[in-house]
Chain A
Amino acid sequence: MDKIQNNRAWFLVLPVLVIVAFSAVIPLMTVVNYSVNDTFGSNDFFWAGLEWFQDAVTSDRIHEALGRQVLFSGIILAIEVPLGIFIALNMPRQGFWSSLCLVLMALPLLIPFNVVGTIWQIFGRVDIGLLGHTLAALGIDYNYVSDPLAAWITVVVMDVWHWTSLVALLCYAGLQSIPGAFYQAAKIDQASRWSVFRFIELPKMRGVLLIAVLLRFMDSFMIYTEPFVVTGGGPGNSTTFLSIDLVKQAIGQFDLGPAAAFSIMYFLVILLISWVFYTVMTNLDRDGGN
């Protein structure tokens, strides 16, 4: 029997193509266009080749921002993932308290990013903030406006407060899906609490942990709003992360060419690291084969 070929069906894909073109492809190509040209606004472009990319690769300022960014993502992953697992393990599994915990845990996730920043900006102020004032009253020298370490601590604690819930909720979902028989079998096998975690809970959470780590990595690597609201990248450049630096360059200094080159490389770095994460984790998953 002959198959009927009807290529008009391709027209049905057209709306999606249009939407994707306007939402992703065209803006991205605009950025690519900027990255290889020099412009002074007013739509005059002068070919610059790879100059901006060379500048970005050799820029000390970007190197430092990248270093801070990697450090920040590393720190918050190192805190949020174990803390999230710990919270998930200790959340009640059913009943009223479980629902209450879930709602409380979800609250920070529902707050807009700039509001989170504002909350902590005020919370940490020495003159009127509950945290800042209390610390000062206790005789602790804490001032995130002038002390880089205090600024870092504030930004990290804020991120932990904001996003640990996500890790905890994902892990909680993973834990809830473990059938009761596993715990019963472990009891019968006289497995210790640590063994139950190591051999039952952790392996069963692997899938959701992969998602949690990926999401937290990507988000933290792109973090902008909260630290911008709290510290504005300061004091000095001490909390100027990649995206803050990028915005300073693009909007503050109106260096559209270098900023475009920078953002393309930024995008590729996130893509690359996420891909490496994903590949490593899924390969770990598969190595049970032999």
Chain B
Amino acid sequence: MVQITLRNLAHSYRANPQTEADYALKQMDHVWQDGGAYALLGASGCGKTTLLNIISGLIKPSHGRVLFGDTDVTQADTAARNIAQVFQFPVVYDTMTVRDNLAFPLRNRGKDAAYVKARVDQIAAMIGMEAMLARKARGLTADAKQKISLGRGMVREDVNAILFDEPLTVIDPQMKWELRTQLKSLHRDFGHTMIYVTHDQIEALTFADKVVVMHEGRVVQMGTPEELFEAPAHTFVGYFIGSPGMNFLDATVSGRSARLAGGHEIDLGADHGAPSGRVQLGVRPEYALLADGEGLDLSIRRVEDVGRHRIVRAEIDARPFDIVIPEGVEIPAQPRLTFAPGKINVYADDWRVAPNAGAA
């Protein structure tokens, strides 16, 4: 178990990368704490699998270094890094029994039979496959096979880290929940560093202590689920996390006040200086309020009832704007829009502008 450091890391699949667009991974510097549960979240093609494979050693980065603890492992192969990885689609050895599948990584490392048996039994109990241990893996359902893959990933106790590459894609929703809970409890019990790649924000937010959001080959934010929700560092995070995502309004900002394109003035609750570039206000649908009287003009397109709350799909100056209304709250007859104080984020050229401390 080690701390993983990425130093000046970048990767391009091209032989001679010229422009930044040639890089699948833009340069990054990050430290992954020992024993942390991380989720690597991003849309398809954002480079999260590339980053995972660099950490696991399946890909050698074209630039920068990877450190496990104080050891430089950039050139070390997967086996030398002593990590475990679970892939998106089930990887099982069809001709082996379930037991042999689970025991395979241990036997290859020369562990003694008694230990292997005990450990395999323990893992089998965890993934709920004790009854199938003597069965051949061939012909099992995709669910069961992926559980074997997960089990094989977790069977070694001495690994430096366990990496998951969208491991629950093929699993039934019901089982997903159960397995994720088990992964969490496993993390609590053994304290392995876990990195979990997913494009599903629910999976990321429920699994991880820290979520790493990637966008176009760049880590745009590394933070707790709460940080991602309250203060997205990049407009992509605001848009990607949350359902529906954050709303953005073009504005000019100076100090505590913002002026929207339509001329409306809004109090930001904190001094944001005078950001330049394309300036936007980001407001979570949860922090937008509909009330009679004062506020911003908007036109409501439709209202969606999703059970616990309702989503109001509206427009401001012909740009979409979503509002979440809690259950039991009525929509006023002449709705005007106001924002919860202190919940407005300011973005300049897509990056968050932090308010000046103490000015609030």
Contacts and interface: CB of A to CB of B under 8 A. Distances in A.
Interface of A: 179, 181-182, 184-185, 187-192, 195, 199-200, 203-204, 286-290
Interface in B233-285: none
B308 interface: no
A195 B135 CA distance: 20
Interface in B104-152: 104-105, 108-109, 135-139, 149, 152
B322 to A, nearest CB: 38
Contacts of A200: 93
A188 B105 contact: yes
A189 B103 CA distance: 10
A288 B78 contact: no
A242 B138 CA distance: 41
A199 B78 contact: no
B179 interface: no
Contacts of B84: 188
Nearest to A286: B139
A290 B135 contact: yes
Interface of B: 56, 58, 77-79, 83-85, 87-89, 91, 93-96, 104-105, 108-109, 135-139, 149, 152
Contacts of B85: 184-185, 188
Contacts of B58: 184, 187
A199 B93 contact: yes
Given A184-B85, A191-B108, A199-B95, A289 B78 contact: no
Contacts of A204: 94
Contact of A185 (B87, B109, B137, B139): B87
Contact of B108 (A184, A190, A286): A190
Contacts of B88: 181
Given A187-B58, A192-B108, A290-B135, A179 B89 contact: yes
B107 to A, nearest CB: 9
Contacts of B138: 203, 288
B108 A289 contact: no
A287 B139 CA distance: 9
Contact of A288 (B87, B94, B149): B94
6 contacts: A179-B89, A179-B91, A182-B91, A188-B83, A288-B137, A288-B138
A137 B84 CA distance: 60
A195 B105 CA distance: 12
A189 B139 contact: no
Nearest to A195: B108
Contacts of A188: 56, 78-79, 83-85, 105
Contacts of B89: 179, 181
Given A190-B108, A203-B94, A288-B135, 19 more contacts: A181-B91, A182-B91, A184-B87, A185-B85, A187-B58, A187-B78, A188-B84, A188-B105, A189-B105, A190-B109, A191-B104, A200-B93, A204-B94, A286-B139, A287-B136, A288-B139, A289-B136, A289-B139, A290-B135
